[in-house]
Amino acid sequence: MGKNKSLTLPYPLILASTSKYRGALLEQLGWPFEAIAPGVNEEQFKHQDLTPQDLAIELSRAKAKAVYIHYEGSCVIGSDQVCCIGNKIFDKPGSLEVAIEQLWEMQGKSHELLTAVTVITPQEETTFLNTTTLHMRDLTREEIRSYLEADEPYDCAGSYKLESRGIKLFERIEMSDHTAIIGLPLIELSNVLIHFGYPL
């Protein structure tokens, strides 16, 4: 995946994810990379009584490390997202019924989307956390169902796709990087990779 295969990179670049959303984002940066599933059991982390922030960070580290041990000498990027109100975490719903209940609980309130990224190279490891605050408008159950049936965001934490019709659910969004919402904060990731020697 990726473009400009003639570029000289300091290390082979690997995305520890097979998410189509993260893969499409990383392609924007123009560096060739390989996408590899980390195979991390996320459920074991979710039962450790971690804060949402710590959960996102630990999952990003676990994913990066799970791939790096098989590809030492590479630069591996692991990322994870956690959607939360306070310490209550909203997972990927997986079904219409669960998604309706998630959006019903979030409507009329603000919540946070936490996106953690860990980058591991042979020289160093770095982790950062991006926080986006989203203010959802008041919604009826009929409006929620109508949105969900149109967008089908059942593989998305929080039960919405901001890059699609889900943007209509919100009155205001406070963010430093719009790509974080989709799953990979490209501005800070670019800063890290350029620091590691990746060319513009």
Find out whether 116 and 175 touch, Cβ atoms under 8 Å: no
What is the total residue count of the chain?
Answer: 200
Residue with tokens 């590899």: 36
Find out whether 117 and 127 touch, Cβ atoms under 8 Å: yes
Query: How many degrees, rounded to 5, is the angle at CA 152 between CA 150 and CA 132?
Result: 105
Return the H-helix or E-strand segment holding 55: helix 52-68
- Active-site residue list: 80
Number of helices (H), then strands (E), belonging to the chain: the values are 7, 7
Q: Which amino acid is at 43?
A: E
Find out whether 11 and 73 touch, Cβ atoms under 8 Å: yes
Secondary structure class of 165 (helix, strand, coil): helix
